[in-house]
Amino acid sequence: MSNMLEVADLGHTYGDYEAIGGLTFTVRAGELVCVVGPSGCGKSTLLRTISGLIAPSRGDVSLNGSHLAVVFQDYSRSLFPWLSVQGNVEFPLRSLPRAERRARAAEALEWVGLGAAAKKRPWQLSGGMQQRVAIARALAYRPALLLMDEPFASVDAQTRFELEDLLLRVRREHDTTVLVVTHDIDESVYLGDRILVLSGSPAKLVADLEVPLPAERDQVTTRTDEAFVALRSKVARLLNVGGKPTMDVDKWAAAERESLSETVSS
């Protein structure tokens, strides 16, 4: 499998403050990789350097393709209120002929289940639907890599589960390569084929873990799967390295597994 993204010894400093300290990793074509790390560990800087919004202080980012798309956490600010939903999805396609632009936008909106909302304004939709518009816009652009910055951190838990499953479905159907940056351990395990665990500032790669779960995932059964729980504990333990022991991760995981299986059986 070819590499879609290669990051070599990427480092970035703001003045004296070192945000990222030499990261090396690759993302293979069609893969969904989650980058997980504590809040303020330099994840956003990593995302901004990969997407080209800032030039890194050192190291290389090479993308196997001409362009990438980003889905930001703050969907309400990322979408343009003066454009319709359709207009927002067409936004990155201005160089294409009108008819093709139309067709691509309509298609992408169908993929995220918003075909009927094309004429509405984004702010007339719920938060989850707005983030779906942002995802459709990114997909319509047909990026070599889809970058997502805490994409589901601003929606409620129920919507979050829906959006996670939507992401898994569309990336499977369209063979999209995805890099999700998140601070949520559960989310990284649930979504990822692979997890990159980062330490606190400056961000360094602590572990590169394969997720031993089947491609088909389910919010209830996957989350109670032995492999899921074991990996989640492992990531949590890795993230606690060097930090204060805040809780007994294994005990917490076991307790949660029990409570989850209770809700399933009832």
Q: What are the angstrom distances between the C-alpha of 213 and each of 49, 140, 189, 255?
A: 30, 29, 9, 21
- DSSP letter for each residue of 168-218: HHHHHHHT--EEEEES-HHHHHHH-SEEEEE-SSSB-EEEEEE--S-SS--
94 forms part of the interface with another protein (CB under 8 A): yes
Q: Which residue in 5, 21, 63, 78 binds another protein (CB under 8 A)?
A: 78
| Residues between 109 and 138 with contacts to another protein, criterion CB under 8 A | 121, 123-127, 130
Q: Which residue in 17, 58, 80, 261 binds another protein (CB under 8 A)?
A: 80
DSSP strands (E only) in 64-135:
68-71
Sorted by sequence, the CB contacts under 8 Å of residue 127 that are 6+ apart come out as 75, 76, 154, 155, 156, 159
| Residues between 28 and 57 with contacts to another protein, criterion CB under 8 A | 51-53
244 forms part of the interface with another protein (CB under 8 A): no
Nearest CB to another protein, comparing residues 72 and 228: 72
154 forms part of the interface with another protein (CB under 8 A): no
Q: Which residue in 12, 104, 139, 141 binds another protein (CB under 8 A)?
A: 141
* Structure-block tokens of residue 135: 């995802």
76 forms part of the interface with another protein (CB under 8 A): yes
* Structure-block tokens of residue 40: 């303020």
Closest approach of another protein to the CB of residue 138, in Å: 9
| Residues at the contact surface with another protein, assessed by CB under 8 A | 51-53, 67-70, 72, 74, 76-78, 80-83, 91-92, 94-95, 121, 123-127, 130, 141
